[in-house]
Amino acid sequence: MSKIYWCWSNPVGSLRRLWQNITRGWNDSDCWSLDHTIAEFVLPRLKVLQKNKHGVPSSVQLSEETKNALSTLSEKEKEEREFEELQKVWDSILSKMVKSFEFIILDGDDLTIDHSGIEYKFIKSITHPDCSTMKVVGSEEAVKKYNDSVRLYCDIMREREKQIKEGLLLFAEYFRGLWD
Q: What confidence tens digit (pLDDT) does each residue in 107-136 have?
A: 999 999 988 999 988 888 888 888 888 888
**Are 27 and 108 members of one domain?**
no
**21 & 101 share domain:** no
Task: Name, of 26-40, 139-153, 155-169, the range with top average pLDDT.
Answer: 155-169
Tell me, what's the pLDDT at 94? 98
pLDDT(1) > 70: no
Q: Is the domain of 25 the same as that of 73?
A: no
DSSP 153: H
The whole-angstrom separation of Cα 138 and Cα 146 is 10
Is the distance from CB of 87 to CB of 54 less than 8 angstroms? no
The answer to whether 105 touches 39, Cβ cutoff 8 Å, is yes
Instruction: Report residue 178's pLDDT band, with 50, 70 and 90 as the boundaries.
Output: very high
Where does the chain have alpha helices with state H?
A: 11-24, 34-52, 64-70, 75-106, 140-173
The number of folded domains in the chain is: 2
Q: What pLDDT is stored for residue 27 in this prediction?
A: 84
Question: Which DSSP state fits 4?
Answer: P
Q: Are residues 45 and 8 in the same domain?
A: no
d(CA 56, CA 37): 27
Q: Is residue 82 pLDDT above 90, yes or no?
A: yes
What distance in Å separates the CA atoms of residue 156 and residue 5, rounded to the nearest whole number?
A: 31
